[in-house]
Amino acid sequence: MRDILGGKGAGLAEMAQLERAAKKRFGDAQNPLLVSVRSGAAVSMPGMMETILNLGLNDETVEGLVAGSANPRFAYDSYRRFVQMYGDVVFDLGKDPFEEVLDELKQRRRVERDIDLPADDLRGLVREFKSILQARTGLPFPEDPMAQLWGAIEAVFKSWRTRRAVDYRRVHGIPDDLGTAVNVVAMVYGNMGDDSGTGVAFTRDCSTGEPVLNGDFLTNAQGEDVVSGARTPESIAKMKRGKLAKVYRELERIAAKLERHFRDVQDIEFTFEHGKLYMLQTRRAQRTGLAAVRIAVELVGERLITEDEAVQRVPPQDLDQVFHPMVAPDATPTVIAKGLPASPGAAIGEAVFDADEAETLAKRGRAVILIRPETSPEDFHGIVAARAVLTARGGMTSHAAIVARGMGKTCVVGAKDIEVDPRAGGGAGQFRANGRVVKKGQVITVDGTTGRVLLGAVKLVEPKLGAHYATLMTWADERRRLRVRANADTPADAARARELGAEGVGLCRTEHMFFQGDRITAMREMIVARDEAGRRGALAKLLPMQRADFEGIFEALAGFPVTIRLLDPPLHEFLPHTRDEVTTLAHAMKMPVAELQRLVTSLVEANPMLGHRGCRLGITYPEITEVQARAIFEAACRVVGRGKKVMVEVMIPLVALAEELRQQSAIVRRVAREVFQAEGRGVPYL
């Protein structure tokens, strides 16, 4: 058709078919057909692309809508929504100019909700919104419905290249060259009164995986009201009783049918108009890692998918989310506020009230919590950067909730007790909650599992894995052809790795054993020692520490191989940096502070990654290799003596020449013989 009629002609032909189905005419003053213009990418990108509703309204067609509905308030509410959305999306004016006028009017009328404004006020808003558009662009609002349509189509196509859409594709690995379709769909109206409404439903709980229909809805509203968080919606469970019970039963029936058909959890958008249910779209639901594991296992139990499909449906990044920390059960935190637990886990960070600032601080290595009245797609880069997201408004299906869940990001939404003011403090931002004020930079903890907002940095612990995880991993084990080892630098790491099914340690980085407490001091003493005697003195302190750690690792991985890399410290990571650190080390070594500072300065390298480290350190100071080898083999002999099997593999790091390997391996083998002779037993090693 497009080849014969051209693009515009084909579009007109499609519109004619839509008119026949709806029994309305596009642009007709008596019985107008209104449409929504929506994106349609091959891969769902919730909230990232543009949508325009109620397209086709002008000063003539709105009167036809008034006559046909006998509801002037509904007609002018739809009209002001359309002008506002068109100015935002097509003319790129943003939401703020229109929201400011709307908020000012609500304050004058002393009402909190848009739906409480009468028809005359909404008619006045339409005129004022058009004036804003004319003043800011120098162009009049387009009254011709066909001109409106082509402007909207172009804007939706362009939204594929917006920053938020590009960022979303980068985070989720979606190719940029896929592009998007544009869908033109006849409107149905959820803003026609209390027997009309709109909502979003999930066929299972996408935070936990529980098999229960859940979601949010609003009466007398359109879809943007629910997902934007501008109004805090109600749970669809409230639809079960009362005048919306019939709508709920129909929704429940269709939701179950859709899940069976697609064999996966569905994210459904719906509208009901005067009690009649309309399904707007269905797509695969975003879910947390915890939910993904449970859903995959239970769908197998329901014979909707196979075990092979279950294993393939849970990507590695979802499994990573399963290990997100949680607030310690024995913690006694100060609860500032409570909201809806939109995405589980717990996170600690500085309060930040602007997405750009969240991104900037995160790039500097700061942990931040993004706090907003509600999020919009323009905040996406800030959500990516933040450890957690907190909003004052919105429900479980709001933009913040859906995006955070899809990324495995801790999130609490609809915290009604908090009043967010992003502009307070000269633009720094703050929020008030139950008599407390939290300002930018103040540390808080967000608990996405319970919905709590906690003051300060609260103690966090690792979660316990459930039966669903064990089942999925059993299926994966039965199908895999590779054996998996873990990185483990401490006995606790090794025990955790074994608990999760690792069949050995592929890399134990011995320098990582010295980052805490008195160990870092002994390590620094060894690095800055002026002679061999000083180094041996420091190494004598390190020997029992390393030996004890190796014993713990061998115990945890008994019967499985453990690869231990000899010391490979980038010196810049261990050297004292601050004046206080230099002073503390100088006192421990009984050395003048100035002399130690000169030593530290002399050890700074232009390129530490190619500097004095790895086997080069052991060649310069053989005593370092000797002490490490002794700690390894003494620990191995002790564990073998307790009846456990030990499999040791010693790695000589950063070898460039065969002579380097020969010298270092000779030291390791000599020390092994000495230890085996002294202990009266040997241990096989590589």
Question: What is the structure's pLDDT at 5?
Answer: 44
**Residue 362's CB: how many other CB atoms inside 10 A?**
20
- Phi, psi dihedrals of residue 185, rounded to the nearest 5°: -130, 140
| Burial per residue of 156-176, b for 16 or more beta-carbon CB atoms within 10 angstroms, e otherwise | bbbbbebebbbbbbeeeebee
Rounded to whole angstroms, the Cα distance separating 385 from 388 reads 9
Question: What is the CB-side half-sphere exposure of residue 284 using CA atoms within 13 A?
Answer: 13
With a CB cutoff of 8 Å and minimum separation 6, the contacts of 267 are: 44, 46, 200, 201, 202, 206, 282, 283, 284, 285, 286, 402
Rg (CA), the chain: 32
**Alpha carbon distance 68, 290 (integer Å):** 49
In what order do the strands lie in the sheet containing 51-55? 51-55, 35-41, 180-186
Model pTM? 0.67
Give me the CATH code for the 20-186 domain, please.
1.20.80.30
**Sign for the pseudo-dihedral over CA of 415, 419, 423, 424:** negative
Q: Which residues contact 250 (CB under 8 A, 6 or more apart)?
A: 277
Comparing 20-186 with 326-460, is the CATH topology the same?
no
CA angle at 587 for the pair 585 and 593, rounded to the nearest 5°: 75
Residue 456 sits at the vertex; the CA angle it makes with 450 and 460, to the nearest 5 degrees, is 55
For 598, other C-beta atoms within 10 Å of its C-beta total 11
Cα(369)–Cα(321) distance, integer angstroms: 18
Nearest to 36 by CA among 115, 143, 148, 144: 148
Angle of helix 289-301 versus helix 467-479 axis, rounded to 10: 70
Among residues 636, 638, 641, the alpha carbon closest in space to that of 684 is found at: 636
* DSSP states along 522-558: HHHHHHH-SSHHHHHHHHHHHHHHHHHHHHHHHHHTT
Q: Using CA atoms, how far apart are residues 232 and 213, in angstroms rounded to an integer?
A: 19
Q: What is the residue-wise DSSP string for 211-270?
A: S--EEEEEES--HHHHHH-SS--EEGGGGGSSTTHHHHHHHHHHHHHHHHHHTS-EEEEE
Phi first, then psi, for residue 426 (nearest 5°) are 70, 25
pLDDT attached to residue 571: 65
Which CATH number applies to 482-679?
3.20.20.60
Contact 435, 417 (CB under 8 A): no
pLDDT averages per 10-residue partition of the chain, 686 residues: 52 67 88 92 84 95 93 94 95 91 92 89 95 95 96 95 87 87 90 91 92 94 74 89 95 96 94 93 87 95 97 85 80 89 91 93 94 85 93 83 83 90 85 90 92 92 85 92 90 89 91 68 72 79 88 94 88 70 79 80 74 84 89 95 94 93 95 94 91
* Cα 70 from Cα 358, distance rounded (Å): 48
Cβ atoms of 49 and 160 within 8 Å: the answer is yes
Cβ-based neighbours of 615, under 8 Å, separated by 6 or more: 566, 652, 653, 654, 655, 660, 661, 664
> What is the fold, at CATH topology level, of the domain defined by 197-287?
D-amino Acid Aminotransferase; Chain A, domain 1 (3.30.470)
Q: Give 367: exposed, middle or buried? Use CB within 10 Å, 0-12, 13-18, 19+.
A: middle
d(CA 381, CA 355): 7
Cβ density class 561-591: b for 16+ within 10 Å, e for less = bbbbbbbbbebeebbbeeeeebeebbeebeb
Residue 660 DSSP SS3: helix
Q: Which two tokens stand for residue 489?
A: 């630098």
In this prediction, residue 350 carries a pLDDT of 95
Please list the residues that pair with 180 across neighbouring strands. 41
Query: Domain 326-460 class?
Result: alpha beta
Kindly list the domain boundaries of the chain, sorted by start residue.
20-186, 197-287, 326-460, 482-679
SS3 (DSSP) at 285: coil
Report whether 213 contacts 222 (CB < 8 A). Answer: no
How high is the pLDDT of residue 512? 77
Q: Which residues of 409-421 are buried (b: 16+ CB within 10 A; e: fewer)?
A: bbbbbbbebbebe
What is the distance between the alpha carbons of residues 555 and 558, in angstroms, rounded to a whole number?
5
The tally of CA atoms less than 13 A away on the side-chain side of residue 471 is: 16
Residue 346 in 3-state DSSP? strand
Give one DSSP letter per residue of 490-515, joined into a string: SHHHHHHHHHTT--SEEEEEGGGGGS
